[in-house]
Amino acid sequence: MSSVVLIIGFWTILFISNALLKNYRKYSRRYKEFLENNGISLSICQVRWYTTSFNRSFVRFGKMHPYLLHVWFSVGVVVGVLLMFASVVILCLTLYKAFAKDAPEQVLTPVMPGVNVPWSQVLYYLVTLTVSGVFHEFGHAISAVREQVRVNGFGMFFMAVYPGAFVDLYTEHLTVISPLRQLRIYCAGVWHNSVLVIIGLVLLWSLPSLLVPIYATGQGAVVLNVLKESPVHGSITRGDTVLSLYGCQVYNKEDWNSCISKTLRSPQHGYCTDMLTIIRKNSSKGAIFSGGVYDCCQNSTSSRFCFNYQSLSHSKGHACLPARSTMQSRQLCSLPTDCDGPGDKVCAHPSLDNSSRLLRIIRSKGADVLYVGDPLLLQYTIGVINYLPRSYLLPMEIPNMLEMFLIYLVSLSGALALLNMVPCYSLDGQWALFALVDHTLTSFIPNEDQRNMLCNIILTLGTLLLAANITLALWTLGSA
């Protein structure tokens, strides 16, 4: 709710400021001239900027290597048509799954800063969406020049919380060229977005190799931050490298998450020792059963913990033992028979409730950290990354920032490529559908009105399909 208030407040202030400046006699003329000279216009929840400064650049790029550009945008037609069919299939499957089961898998997820995009990641969202939109429109512009269609200008806008771009093409030129040439123009945008997705995926996959001279990977999970609310705040600090968690080897961030999940799926394991050690180190004066667990240490010291033990000779009981030395055992157990060695072997389990674990966290430097509690708290309160700086002068955040940027770029550019080709009114798919039908069905349906009627039927169904998916996505987001 606070994010909605913030967005509404921003646009309200901007709208009022614009109205005041336009009507304030002292600055009105200069302000209006500034807006007009720079191609800026403001309306309710929208700012637009329009320029002809890029027209010569579009012409220059559009006339470079004509044959290569012809092949390039012809491939774009194939990709665009495939995306059109793929978008319809995916949206239909999403609706089918929504009615087939209670929790549908969402393909469409509305992106709302402050709602499902953290404010800390809003800059990634704005930059990648702008880059994707500009790259998309540059595709249209260069293809239009290649097909002898004049580009009137280029513009950008910011509507509510969504940045974007557009190109203004000369309609009279566009309508007289062949349907195939029109397709090259209409599909150029989504083709460029698809290329951007491929580039992003390649960079994301090769990022560890590209950064290997200055950042090491595979050394463990590197701690980026620890929240003040974390139970291990002060014990684990920024820059620590976690090597092992609960006996599970950690080489990267993915291992860290999977090891935490593993601790939740498996019961608390025990530690092998012997009966003589139990007798010698036990400081318990009796066990109290409270809250589903036994307390045999009675808060004597934080370094000791209550263990339930069972020996090979069938002795059972509770012992208050030094937690750190007990967990140093290299042998883990469920039963005493799992323990090797001479003497009356014992399997000692920490006395815990079902949701808690006693974990030993091994770091590359410093003493091991013992943690008692819900393992999920570690996942929620400790931020880890894969990259370890080779020099203390290097910022830890750079690889994570690059990775996050590429993830957003792939996601948002891919969404633009897919959704823009839905046969729906006001999207690229609308004009691509008309051109595709004219190119492929003219010999079968020579009457233009009949072809247009077919297109309008498909567009109506496509618009309803997209609207249903958006409604479903908003409902799912609201009920989450």
Catalytic residues: 137
What residue type is assigned to position 228 of the chain?
K
- Between CA 185 and CA 170 the distance in angstroms is 12
Place of tokens 């990641």: 121
Angle CA(310)–CA(311)–CA(315) in degrees, nearest 5? Answer: 75
Q: Please give the Cα distance from 437 to 455 (Å, whole number).
A: 8
- Residue spans of alpha helices (H) in 294-353: 323-326
Distance separating alpha carbons of residues 140 and 130, to the nearest angstrom: 16
- Interacting residues of 140 by C-beta distance below 8 A, sequence separation 6+: 167, 169, 185, 186, 188, 189
How many angstroms separate the CA atoms of 318 and 286, rounded? 8
CA distances from 183 to 66, 140, 226, 444 (A): 17, 10, 52, 19
Q: Is 299 exposed, middle or buried (0-12, 13-18, 19+ CB in 10 A)?
A: exposed
Angle between helices 397-420 and 179-210 (to 10 degrees): 160
* Residue 41 to residue 35: CA distance in whole angstroms: 7
- Rounded to 5 degrees, φ, ψ at 400 are -65, -40
3-state class (DSSP) for residue 297: coil
Among 98, 92, 99, 124, which Cα is nearest to 111's? Answer: 124
Question: Per 3-state DSSP, what percentage of the chain is helix, strand, and coil (rounded to 5)?
Answer: 50, 20, 30
Q: Which two three-digit tokens encode residue 276? A: 């003589």
Kindly report the three-state secondary structure assignment for every residue of 355-383. Answer: CCEEEEEEECCCCCEEEEECHHHHHHHEE
